[in-house]
Amino acid sequence: MTNWNEMSDEDFAQAAASFVERACPAELRYLPHRPRWDKSSVWYIAMSREGWLAPGWPVEFGGMGLDPSKHLTYLEVFERLGTPMVAPQGVVNVGPALIGFGTDEQRQEFLPKILSGERRWAQGFSEPNAGSDLASVRTEAKPDGDEYVINGQKIWSTGALDANWMYALVRTDKSVRKQAGLSFVMFPMDQRGVTVRPIRTISGGEEFCEVFLDNVRAKAEHVVGGVNNGWKVANGLLGFERLWSGSAHQCKQALVRLKDVARIAGKMDDPSFRQRYTRLELDVLDLAACYTRSTRNLQVTRRVGFEASMLKIWATETCQRIGELMMEIGGDAALVQGGMEIDDRHLDALTPFLEARAPTIYGGTVQIHRNILAKNVLNLPT
């Protein structure tokens, strides 16, 4: 087994780039949206087979065990080469939750099947009346022997059309304060009582879904972190999710697309455009540097701090500003869903603009994160 941390950063970057160029199909690179499993599974399986899938997982659980420097190099190379995020719920969310809060038996059962792609995951957190106020979830799980029977509804479940397992926050005790009566449970989606309905977004995609749960069964042994301790597990998971959403990944790819659109539109020599582009590029470089510092702190402290909220706001709003400039210079092609051919080249400014709307909402709206910073960092009254 290769010890990646013994390599120099330069050698590791070359190895990562060589793997991406060889294994990631060209048609999956620099996409404005997340591809479906039937198209992207070849890339997921290649990463799994060659040991490049889980850079942050410890080696003993099948990950790469990268130190902070190598992990950041990994992210930079994969971002620069435009690789897609494929079925990230398992690797980014469920895996770390099990490593941090699961039992040995849960890790042994689930982690290898996440890495192989056998179990693909959807998140069951948000509900129609419990979005940013996640503690208000009403989906209920009642004990029945060595199982729980779950009834309720989840919404905005990313990737649920392709998932065969869900991890969900459910209410297991109504007699205590709302945060204290929640449990984090996992269950298969290919069972009677699970209904998945896609939500078509303004960009035309169906990445998000609503999921209806009617007497769905979950094994008691698949509760993570203990009964009524789901709030702690969910907060740990959401910290990692928010830190990930604060990466410069999407912004860097958006800048690549913006430059392509500007070249096709003949704007690269326009002084006004170049000034605005440079400001955005500097914002993204500053974001990347701050993200680097935060991830290094995470490797040391093993705790996601309030800076995750700052990064989330910074990254998602910057990505929106890049999309807005793309729309402004895109001309007629900015009005056509899916783009159009101009001078034998494909120009699509509308899809990236529309795709940038949702990230300021999911994982907690930017307004919620500003309140978090105001209360916990600035000590302002709420």
Catalytic residues: 241
Q: Which amino acid is at 230?
A: G
The neighbour count for residue 279, using CB atoms within 10 Å, is: 12
C-beta of residue 115 within 8 angstroms of C-beta of residue 62: yes
Measure the CA–CA gap between 196 and 329, rounded to whole angstroms.
Answer: 39
Which of 215, 2, 213 lies closest to 122 in space, CA to CA? Answer: 213
Q: Which phi and psi (to 5°) does residue 166 adopt?
A: -130, 140
Helix (H/G/I), strand (E/B), else coil: 190: coil
Measure the CA–CA gap between 116 and 261, rounded to whole angstroms.
Answer: 37
Q: Which amino acid is at 227?
A: V
Locate 351 and state its tokens: 């899809």
Please enumerate in sequence order all residues whose Cβ is within 8 A of that of 215, keeping only pairs 6 or more positions apart, or say none.
149, 150, 151, 192, 193
Measure the CA–CA gap between 251 and 323, rounded to whole angstroms.
Answer: 9
Locate 232 and state its tokens: 């702690």
353, β-bridge pairs: none
Measure the CA–CA gap between 197 and 206, rounded to whole angstroms.
Answer: 9
Locate 233 and state its tokens: 């597990």
Q: Which phi and psi (to 5°) does residue 105 adopt?
A: -65, -40
- 13 vs 4, 34, 144, 296, CA distance in Å? 10, 24, 52, 18
Q: Which amino acid is at 219?
A: K
314 backbone φψ class: left, alpha, beta (φ>0; ψ -120 to 50)? alpha
Measure the CA–CA gap between 340 and 356, rounded to whole angstroms.
Answer: 20
The neighbour count for residue 79, using CB atoms within 10 Å, is: 18
Q: Containing H/E element for 261?
A: helix 249-265
